[in-house]
Structure 1
Amino acid sequence: MSDPQREIWAGDPLLLTPEEAARVLRVGRTTVYALLKAGDLTPVHIGRSCRLSRAELERYVKQLEARSPRTPNGRRRTSRGQNGVLDLIHNPPDGT
Structure 2
Amino acid sequence: MSPNDQDKEIVERLIAETNLSARMDALIGEICDKLREYGVASPHKAFNDLVDPFREYFMLEYEEERGLEDAGEEVEDDEEEDERSY
Please identify which structure carries the higher helix content.
2
TM-score range, shorter chain: under 0.3
TM-score (norm 1): 0.26
Higher Cα Rg, which structure: 1
Highest RCO, 1 vs 2 (Cα 8 Å, sep ≥ 6): 1
Please identify which structure carries the higher strand content.
1
